[in-house]
Amino acid sequence: MWFSAFFAILPLAPLASSARVPQDLFQSSFDVSTHLGNLSPYAKAPAAPGLQETLPEDCTVDQVMLMQRHGSRYPLVSELVFITNLVSKLAGSSAAIKKAELPSSMEFLKDGYTSTLGHDDLTAPGRLQLFDHGVSFALKYPHLKASTLLAGLQDRVVESAQWFANGYFGRAWGGLNATTLQTIPEDNVTISWITPMNTCENWQYDYGNNATITWGNVYLPPIAKRLNKLLPGVKLSTDDVHGALYACAYDLAAHGVSPWCGVFTESEIEDFDYELDLLMDGAFGYNLPGSMGPILGSLFVDKLIERFTNKTGDSQSLYLEFGHDTTIDMALTALGLAKDSPKLSATGPARLNRKWRTSHQVPFAAQMTWEKFSCTASFKGPQIRLLLNESPLALSLCKHMDKELGSCSLDDFVSANSFSTRISWGDATWNATCGNAGF
């Protein structure tokens, strides 16, 4: 009965995966849903020019390590407050809105805009994203078998692992139990490659948040001025505009469609996209102070190398692990990938050619998939490559990277990551940057 009810909702899938918006302001093929930073619904990453996605026929994938971000969620409480305040402002200005001559993209405001968004938990599209990923993973690697999953101990992460498991194992899966789905605490006393910042006493989320406040002071006022000309008497603040942008992203995350997305121009959406990139880069990437970003990400890279080299003698062929966008961003930072020079600036401009793009790196339900493979003729010795949201990401850190696959030998990869493998949690390097939170 449970699965019959589940499959009854599958026809709704295209709504979540191809959420388009009204084209009143967009005369091109611009798709807002692919320009919402780390709040974008899942989509396959753009293929890098010249990189081959399929391995040569003589190659076999021997080992895989997946780091899976949770699916689409409701807004965090800190984000939801912008939306609820906007709803209140609009409700109190209904008379002025009804008198206004509005473009078709804003006519919905005359009927009133309300929000039923919750906070923090997975949405229906988020559950479906993870189920679909589980099915796809089982089909892609049928020769590799997983017996356990590991999830960071946060509700939306655990639930994501459960939906993935339903797709991967099928209805024979035993559900939440100690042997099949294991969890690792997300706190300041548990050393974890999923949430390493929690045990870094000196780490502050404000490094990213301060950057977004600065950028908001640049790009939000002109939007507020434009909308207030269309809505005389409403007096939208920059915080209200922020709420409307969040409403666009989170309506998509919850319902697959949002009337707000069609209100903004392409450049305005791109500025919001840049704000979200700044947040992630400043809190979990290259704009953290000193070498904090690479040091935090080193825990993941070291774990990856430990497993692919079978350092402990008990490596598995397939690891299925569940965490956050932050997990993936910190790993990329430790690897020196998606790195901009000069660094992203909180005062702009929002460079369109930037490498750090969270809409490509860490949309909701993002997948960082590491493959170790061997070949009978194409390569000598074990090789490694990275698929980020189903597309290969060139391992440019390697000295002898293969230009067709973006891969390199495992030995080359280990040598290129000596910085990460030399760091241990609590050693002199770690403590000089982080200290020991909670210990």
Catalytic residue numbers, as ranges: 70, 325
Alpha-carbon distance 358 to 375, whole Å?
33
Q: 245: which 2 tokens?
A: 């942008």
Asked whether the beta carbons of 42 and 363 are under 8 A apart, the reply is yes
Alpha-carbon distance 102 to 212, whole Å?
30
Q: 116: which 2 tokens?
A: 């039923």
Q: 19: which 2 tokens?
A: 């959420």
Q: Is 297 helix (H, G, I), strand (E, B) or coil?
A: helix
Alpha-carbon distance 26 to 22, whole Å?
8
Single-letter code of the amino acid located at 333: T
Angstrom CA distances, 299 to 73, 399, 420, stand at 26, 22, 7
The pairing of beta strand 383-388 with beta strand 181-184 = unpaired
For 230, residues 6+ apart whose C-beta sits below 8 A from its C-beta are 100, 102, 103, 106
Asked whether the beta carbons of 39 and 71 are under 8 A apart, the reply is no
CA 406 to chain centre: 22
Residue among 285, 375, 376 nearest 384 (CA):
375
List, in sequence order, every residue forming a beta bridge with 391; answer none if it has no partner: 388
Q: 102: which 2 tokens?
A: 């509005």
CA 121 to chain centre: 15
Residue among 264, 217, 292, 366 nearest 32 (CA):
264
In the chain the first and final C-alpha atoms are separated, in Å, by 48
Asked whether the beta carbons of 363 and 389 are under 8 A apart, the reply is yes
Q: 142: which 2 tokens?
A: 């049928």
For 429, residues 6+ apart whose C-beta sits below 8 A from its C-beta are 295, 422, 423
Alpha-carbon distance 418 to 204, whole Å?
26
Alpha-carbon distance 135 to 132, whole Å?
5
Q: 95: which 2 tokens?
A: 């008379």
Alpha-carbon distance 356 to 364, whole Å?
16
